[in-house]
Structure 1
Amino acid sequence: MSSVEDTQSLVGHLMELRDRLLRSLLSVLAVFLCLVYFANDIYSFVASPLIDKLPQGATMIATDVATPFFTPIKLTLVVSVFIAVPMILYQIWAFVAPGLYKHERRLVMPLLFSSSLLFYAGVSFAYFVVFPLVFGFFTAIAPEGVQVSPDIASYLDFILALFMAFGFAFEIPIAIILLVWGGVVEPADLSKKRPYIVVAAFIAGMLLTPPDIISQTLLAIPMCLLFEVGLFFSRFYRPRHETDGEETSQN
């Protein structure tokens, strides 16, 4: 009897997971359908930090016949996923919430909300602060006689990599809180390892950004500051096994 109940429970969880995934995909599709008409405008907006730094008379180019069509569509799809992140996180929350204790639900929901804001903050920081500096540097150091005319598809791949790097780098406070909450580390231990964290931030900046000191530094410094933010807030979270034991004894 227990085996049958376990099987039914597993099937129920899988069906719910399927429904949550479908709702997430539909939310992305709904946003994409609303934005696809403006695909070229969206690309122009994202490309403006580079276009503004190009030498007078220079333009971006397309080296493939279908690139002018598919590149803005690809960008619009990625933007749709970015916009739908809160809905996707909500579906994750709705799936895992029934298996959490009451105090865990009170803690996890703010983390999901904060993670969305931090990801958007990282992307915005890359667009408004990093891109103008990096593209200004790249266009200024071009050898004499070399016309800077970037390919639109290559540019998109380049900026998406930076968007993801800065977006996930800004999730450091959430990662620290989860590590402390999971009992993996303690705030005091992290505080003692601060010098190593700073070195690791600059190494990560070197690996995740183009090979220039500007973008590396602009990623490493926010990572160090966000580490301090995460360390501060992690002090308000107790390891999960302690709070679980208390709630179990109360029940």
Structure 2
Amino acid sequence: MSKNIKLIQAIKDKGKNIEAEMSFFDHLEVLRWHIIRSVIAISIFAIISFSYFEQLFDTIIMGPKKPEFWTYQMMCKVGDALNLEGFCVKNLNFNLISTEVGSQFMLTINGSLLIALFLGFPYLLFEVWLFIKPALTKIERKSAQGFVFYATILFFLGALFGYFIVVPLSINFLANYTLSPEIHNNFTTDNWLSTIATLTLGCGIIFLLPILIFILSKIGIMTPEFMRASRRYAILIILTIAAIITPTADILTLLTVSAPMFILYEVSIMVSANVKKRKEQEEKEFYNS
């Protein structure tokens, strides 16, 4: 009987909170200011990137094209240590070309915006957190503490993995793949920038998997039992994604790209199990109080 009374009281309290919530248009106004501040932040980072774009272009964007790139040097050392013939990257068989009048200027603009988006990602997460925070209960806010910090760390780890591992491995294979000696590899600057940005930012987003699992587990959609039962399908999906990202027949490369994804999946299972354990503990404390 007392449990039913507590449950009814909890429903009433929730109803009072709903009545106290802002109207739909108030939410739109708040969202508008979050978007404005985010745009301003990205614009500031874009201006800074534009001012130093020549150095950023030569060091970051053109880095994976140079045989002295850090990853290629490590591949040469690993190849020499393990006696793997052809593992060392000494030449990348392609040239970058500009095919339109304003393509180099647009490369500067687009490159500055992409670098600004990368640098401003933590602030974008912070604005997202500020927007959703008022809608959360006290318990939900407490459980979501560190959202911006952990999401930022995971994103940057994924982006670094994409830039230093996935990008050079993919470029090395695709640039040196030859269908016919009559065909010469001349890639446009837009295609080059798009490839680097897609693989780098894509890996950064993939590394946010534990955060996504945490959210899905909190709302009851995902459970650790389901993830453990689906592990074999997850392995197949991860290998497929790794094969798409790095279209190469090299098993070592495939395993190098897929290994972090396997680790992320196992970490996500632990995150989901921890969320379930906390929910069960909170329910037990609620009924015992």
Helix, strand or coil for the counterpart of 1:109?
Answer: coil
Matched, 1:153 2:167: no
In 2 relative to 1, CA 9–240 (structure 1 residues): closer, same or farther, beyond 3 Å? farther
Q: Contact 2:93–2:185 (CA<8 Å) still a contact in 1?
A: no
Does the C-alpha gap of structure 1 residues 56 and 47 become closer, same or farther in structure 2, counting only changes over 3 Å? closer
- 1:66-77 alignment runs, 5 A limit: 66-77=102-113
SS at match of 1:184: coil
TM-score (norm 2): 0.74
Alignment partner, residue 190 of structure 1: 227
The 3-state SS of whatever aligns with 1:174 is helix
Alpha-carbon deviation of 1:249?
A: 7.5
**Do the aligned partners of 2:162 and 2:201 also contact (CA within 8 Å) in 1?**
no
How many angstroms apart in 2 are the aligned matches of 1:188 and 1:57?
48
| CA distance in 1 between partners of 2:277 and 2:115 (Å) | 36
Deviates more, 1:190-199 or 1:214-223: 214-223
Deviation at 1:228, TM superposition (A): 0.6
Return 130-139 or 87-96, whichever deviates more.
Answer: 130-139
- Name the counterpart of 1:49: 64
SS of the equivalent of 1:237 reads helix
Gaps of 5+ in 2: 1-18, 68-88
Q: Which residue of 1 aligns with 2:132?
A: 96
Q: What TM-score, normalized by structure 1, do the two folds share?
A: 0.84
Give the equivalent residue in structure 1 for 2:239: 202
In 1: Cα distance, 2:25 partner to 2:288 partner: 32
Partner SS for 1:60: strand
Aligned residues: 246
In the alignment, the residues of structure 1 paired with residue 165 and residue 258 of structure 2 have an alpha-carbon distance, to the nearest angstrom, of 14
Is contact 2:154–2:207 with CA below 8 Å preserved after alignment? Answer: yes
**Structure 1's 244 and 22: CA in aligned 2 closer, same or farther, altered over 3 A?**
farther
Q: 2:271 aligns with which of 222, 226, 233?
A: 233
Contact 1:173/1:230 (8 A) holds in 2? yes
Are 2:165 and 1:129 equivalent residues in the alignment? yes
Q: CA deviation at 1:36?
A: 0.8
Tell me which structure has the larger Cα radius of gyration.
2
Bigger shift: 45-54 or 117-126? Answer: 45-54
Contact in 2 for aligned 1:54/1:148 (Cα 8 Å): no
Aligned residue identity for 1:62: S
| Distance in structure 2 (CA, Å) of the matches to 1:174 and 1:7 | 27
In structure 2, how many angstroms separate the alpha carbons of the residues matched to 1:21 and 1:242?
37
Give the AA of the match of 1:94: L
Residues 165 and 57 (structure 1), Cα distance of their counterparts in 2 relative to 1, 3 Å cut: closer
Counterpart CA distance in 1 for 2:285 and 2:247 is 51
- The CA deviation at 1:38 is 1.7
